[in-house]
Structure 1
């Protein structure tokens, strides 16, 4: 499987399947590109599908510092350049939706469209009040137990046991400093875009069409008010867990392929 040096002594693992318009798939916090195993074959029937492990995750390099969505987006910018890919549609789940949104804002020429899957942004102040304690726990004596407790928020009765188990095992394999750095940079760091109103100000700068798929109707309605491009679309699968694309893979592929065909 391929690796690419993207600068700063960071080497990304990625897979590259299919042929057609390029599609970049970006996983969430504490996961890796295996998260897209439910979808790659179907999407690769019509697209060139590139699925990287973000820095600090999976088989990619684990830097001591810089494990943030902004640096991850820069890594992807360099990866696409290394692969000779001028423009992609970028899909991201959770933290990955932050990463691809940053890529779209900072390098708009590279991103033709976005698919945001239950994005890790738009958090309200009420939710955000708990983040400092979570970050302190991730930096404490039992970071993986704290990460597992945080991950409970990602599941509900709709989540199959195999998905719960897969992500629990993946979290316990993560370097603790990566979990803490990435979570902090998403929500409480000086450049964080995960909490309103920082989310509003930054995401309004996206100029490309966006398909956003939510499990939370309130945040779905909120993001609908930010989207400018006429081809943008917001969908809510109320009752799903946070990893709704894993819980409902066939429906996700059907929705994504239909929307991609309109671009």
Structure 2
């Protein structure tokens, strides 16, 4: 892990899964407030649900980039909107490193002043619908071969056990492991024994009163009556969930929650 330089500041704002138009718009409405309040050097966001819960479009990508976001990570819905295939090359979107795609990249190095920040994206394998390559070994390989000053992994996974295992596996080898995918902000933001910062899930940016973003009645009826109705983004008040990762001059990870009044 790189040595710290205490005369510098390095803070990264990481926005949790942006869900649908509600999440995109609420983030755009509040990103200036977030920037002024937390003064991050960089902003990263998970956008695999940005287009109504299924992938991302070029229009949304451009809106998020124009707002000042530096990089977008993805997840198991990366390719659900095929438009991404037309612009991912050369973009500031990274897809999971282990999803076996031949398009795009699973990591990117962002330059900020004289520093290089390595950001990786990986999918967990427990309870996922598809077969993916081993994320532990693939992330380790990149960390060992690339040159950088700071490193962050967005681990898009279903189970807390797999996420925690990844943090232990990489403790002292990476600056931060943040979990996405389950859309519920967890209460375990902490620094691991060898210095890696961690949270099991950043949470979701989107509707407050749905079921992880989807209209609540659709999901409740699916559980209770086994009804099969396509997902629709929930309406009503919106929220932003994020974390502020501070790497210099101190090392800490703080939760952020912002919500719209009912």
Larger % of helix: which?
Answer: 1
Q: TM-score, normalising length from structure 2? A: 0.35
Q: TM-score, normalising length from structure 1? A: 0.35
Larger % of strand: which?
Answer: 2
